[in-house]
Amino acid sequence: MSALVWNLFSFILALGILITVHEFGHFWVARRNGVLVKRFSIGFGKALFRWRDRQGTEFVIAMIPLGGYVRMLDDRFDPVLPQFKDLAFNQKNVRQRMAIIAAGPLANFLFAILVLWFMYMIGVPEARPVIADIRAGSIAAEARVGEQQQIVAVNGRTASDVRAVNLLLVEQLGRNEITLQLEHRQTGQQTEATLNTTTWQFDPDRQTIFDSLGIELMMPKILTSLAQVEASSPAENAGLLAGDTIVEINQQMINNWSELTEWIQNNPGEALDFSILRQGERLTLTVTPGQRQTADGFSQGYIGIVPEVSDWPEGIRYVQRHNPLAALQVGVHQTWQLTRLSFSMIGKFIFGDVSVRHLSGPISIAQGAGTTASIGLIAFLSFLALISVNLGVINLLPLPILDGGHLMYMVVELIRGKPVSEKAQEIGFRIGAMVLLLLMGIALLNDISRL
């Protein structure tokens, strides 16, 4: 199955699950509050499948899988006989309506907890955040962060694995300093290091959060030997084969993968002399990198190769597995951490600490779904939990077209004792739609620029 088809299938599967969860939240609470649900639709457009239950709700799976909705009886839009008025959404009191609207995002948060609970009962492969090296002149070097130390907390928040530390560091974007609690791997001695991050620059399209601080963790090494050469690529056209080891470019020694990629990316269209080892024999090949545009509009070279990767260092990799109660606690904690991070990142976008260039849209989500699905069940479930939390958070934003906007109007109604006027709501919906379309357009352009 091609990467495009696999990504598309994984995207539709992930989105279908998350939309169903979200809309089921609205549906379930609406029914518990005595509201007649006319339609429960997954997707928009032409109905592919439809059926009705005993209570008259039409269930639909539609052609365009980019959303969904629950259509409730509402006498502002539907002709309703007097004896059925109490089944209409708008006839319920404001607290009931708020519960129905809030149930969608809440369902996404509960789903994330359940997914994470299941994951940590099965067992999640993790890596200890042990420092292997510090880049000279970096933020970490200036703070005198040492090698062979494990990061155990970030600004007082504890973490035992790379993923957790990564999330905590991302949350610190925009701060002027970060305090790391460290524990030496051999001696167990604990120390603190305060990073001066006033000049910190992080580009997630080009580096990891650790790279941006000058920290190299103990992980498998990316080698200069080739695991794969892409078909019809500049590398294949030049005669490079899987198994080749690149040792020199233009008579300059290549010590690591970073040096190799720097040569390639900085020389698009320029012929380079590659000295390689092939089955013990030294050969020289001329390779001319192709050219492609980066998100910033610059030209960058590429040749179409995939490196080999070494094994994990001893003692770094482990499996985090818990009993059902402990796994549930981890699920709740991680869902809260992801929720806090999502709201924090929205604030950083608003105040300019994070560039809108890093917004991601459906293409990036599809690629992420496809990649995690190809890695395995645990990775795909982790992706589902992350996107579910993000979907819940986004829907709580006070934009009138989203659940959060409806809740905002209902809070005003609760305070004033009467609903917001139809005209004011209509103006708000239009503004909300424009803002949402603008953000979606930026995210989609960002996706295209990353292709």
Residue in 23, 142, 183, 413 annotated catalytic: 23
| Structure tokens that stand for 302 in this block | 């590429």
Residue of 161, 156, 166, 275 lying closest to 210 (CA atoms): 166
Residues written for the chain: 451
| Opening angle at CA 239, ends 237 and 240, nearest 5 | 110
Question: What is the CB-side half-sphere exposure of residue 259 using CA atoms within 13 A?
Answer: 13
Count Cβ atoms within 10 A of the Cβ of residue 6 and give its class: 0-12 exposed, 13-18 middle, 19 or more buried.
Answer: middle
Q: SS3 for 48-93, per residue?
A: EEEEECCCCCEEEEEEEEEEEEEEECCCCCCCCCHHHHHHCHHHCC
Q: How far apart are the first and last CA of the chain?
A: 19
Residue type, 417: G
Assess whether 23 carries a catalytic annotation: yes
Give the active site residues.
23
